[in-house]
């Protein structure tokens, strides 16, 4: 009649065993793994936004096809989604925006210049949104204000060619094969998706800091080349950042794993390079404190937030690892029949109070 159910015992432990929790604080650091998993979810595009992006993509494709049929029928556009959307690493920026790369391929011999092709695509999408399209160096951008944008990299793909030829504004065509990059990324995935999540965390870091931080593709490559797996995402991210720093100190480069295998850091000037490395150094310093030296989850989460932004959740103002350890210890006492219930409701192993009977209710 004196047996207290396990669940009730756990509740009473949380309410009354504060002294035992405090004694464990110096032996445990804050575990923010659950916060990182929530952060990953916060970076995902909402169903409504994803539907809007999909509808806009189809509307623009129809518009582009019609433009070329009416004005340049010898050029027939074909489409292939590429980049982060295809790899599944698209994130919501701190402005709650996202993007999609929709490659346009002309499978024919080279005719007009790449710049002219870009101009034709720009003409095709002009008027589709209230904001005029942008003619960028390697794409045409259609902007849906405060929501998302769609980029159109444009390619010739002549018959018999090994790789597509990317149109570059006011420059020669460049061999480029985004499908190789997508296939490479998918080959890096692990069973529990940690590499995928670490990539998104690095992209969120770059978005939060901005100021010409590395591109999303560069972050994906850095993650793949330096991935340090762990049961916890906070430790995995910290260790991956340290490995990235070690790699870049040896050689500051980021080679694209697909044609043309160019170096994404090749055109960084000293200012941009130093800005990135300084941000990396600061991130590592705080990550070490958050993982190795800070027992309070709230304080630890604020350190992560400095680098990942407000989409990273705030933790509890407590030592979560100490609480977990204390719960585990008391559950073992109950299961072993060595626990005693005190008058104030606390559970101890002292030979006083009401002794618990061994717990045998394992469900069924």
Report the catalytic residues. 99, 101, 151
- Write the DSSP symbol of residue 263: B
Cβ contacts of residue 238 below 8 Å, gap of 6+?
Answer: 284, 287, 288, 290, 291
Which residues, listed in sequence order, are joined to residue 175 by a DSSP beta bridge?
165
Q: Where are the alpha helices (DSSP H) in 97-232?
A: 114-125, 178-187, 194-209, 216-226
Q: What is the β-pairing status of strands 77-82 and 134-135?
A: unpaired
How many other CB atoms sit within 10 Å of the CB of residue 348? 16
Strands (E), 65-106: 77-82, 98-106
Q: How far is CA 166 from CA 79, 142, 158, 256, 297, in A?
A: 14, 18, 12, 15, 48
- How far apart (Å, rounded) are the C-alpha atoms in residues 352 and 106? 83
């Amino acid at each position: 009649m004196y047996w207290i159910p396990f669940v009730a015992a756990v509740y009473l432990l949380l309410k009354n065993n504060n002294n035992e929790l405090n004694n464990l604080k110096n032996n445990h650091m804050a575990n923010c793994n659950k916060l990182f998993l929530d952060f990953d979810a916060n970076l995902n595009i909402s169903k409504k936004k994803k539907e809007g992006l999909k509808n806009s993509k189809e509307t623009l494709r129809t518009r582009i096809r019609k433009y070329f049929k009416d004005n340049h029928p010898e050029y027939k556009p074909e489409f292939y989604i590429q980049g982060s959307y295809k790899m599944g690493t698209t994130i919501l920026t701190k402005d709650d925006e996202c993007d999609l790369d929709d490659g346009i391929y002309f499978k024919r011999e080279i005719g007009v210049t790449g710049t002219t092709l870009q101009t034709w695509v720009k003409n095709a999408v002009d008027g589709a949104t209230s904001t005029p399209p942008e003619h960028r160096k390697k794409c045409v951008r259609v902007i849906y204000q405060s929501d998302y944008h769609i980029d159109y990299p444009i390619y010739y793909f002549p018959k018999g060619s090994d790789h597509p030829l990317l149109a570059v504004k006011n420059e020669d065509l460049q061999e480029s094969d985004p499908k190789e990059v997508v296939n490479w990324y998918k080959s890096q995935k692990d069973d529990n998706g940690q590499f995928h999540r670490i990539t998104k965390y690095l992209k969120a870091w770059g978005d939060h800091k901005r100021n010409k931080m590395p591109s999303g593709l560069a972050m994906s490559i850095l993650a793949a080349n330096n991935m340090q797996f762990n049961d916890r995402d906070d430790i995995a991210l910290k260790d991956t950042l340290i490995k990235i720093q070690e790699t870049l100190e040896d050689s500051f480069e980021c080679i694209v794993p697909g044609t043309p295998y160019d170096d994404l850091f090749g055109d960084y000037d000293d200012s941009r390079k130093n800005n990135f490395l300084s941000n990396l150094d600061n991130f590592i310093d705080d990550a070490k404190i958050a993982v190795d030296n800070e027992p309070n989850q709230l304080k630890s989460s604020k350190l992560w937030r400095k680098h990942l932004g407000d989409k990273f959740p705030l933790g509890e103002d407590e030592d979560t690892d100490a609480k977990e350890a204390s719960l585990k210890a008391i559950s073992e006492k109950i299961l072993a029949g060595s626990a005693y219930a005190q008058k104030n409701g606390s559970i101890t192993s002292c030979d006083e109070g009401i002794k618990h009977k061994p717990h045998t209710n394992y469900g069924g």
